[in-house]
Structure 1
Amino acid sequence: MPVVNIQMFEGRSDESKQKIAKDVTDSIAKHTGVDPQYVYVIFNDVELKNWAISGEVYSETLKKNS
């Protein structure tokens, strides 16, 4: 049972997530032979203040670059 964990910034629509889940599931099933009903996709929506890059919280990076 493959489990795919996708972490991304919050704000994506349910429709967008549905399309991503379908594409990821289809790809896993195609390349592993696993029945798609056993492929799990978990979305973790992360607030910008809870994500850091290069040692700096991303929301602060965006402020500097805007």
Structure 2
Amino acid sequence: MPVVNIQMFEGRDSAKAQIAKDVTESIAKNAGVDPQYVYVIFNDVKTEDWAISGELFSETVKKSG
């Protein structure tokens, strides 16, 4: 039973169904697992809760534009 945990910035709800479908199909095909046993978990993250290069992503976005 593969479990795929996807963390991404919040606000991409409209893409989740297609992402889940694509990930499930890929795991099923490449790992030989029945798709009904593939679990995909989405964790929405706020930009102020994500850091890159020691800086909050929300601050990086403000600087770039």
The TM-score normalised by the length of structure 2 is 0.96
Deviation >6 Å, runs of 4+: none
- Matches of 1:26 and 1:44 in 2, distance apart? 20
> Quick one: distance in 2 between partners of 1:16 and 1:60?
25
Unpaired stretches in structure 1, ≥5 consecutive residues: none
1:1-66 to 2 correspondences below 5 Å: 1-13=1-13, 15-66=14-65
**Matched residues in 1 for 2:50 and 2:21: separation?**
26
User: TM-score, normalised on structure 1?
Assistant: 0.95
**Stretches of structure 2 lacking an aligned partner (at least 5 in a row):** none
How far the C-alpha of 1:17 sits from its partner, in A, is 0.3
> RMSD across aligned C-alpha pairs, in angstroms?
0.7
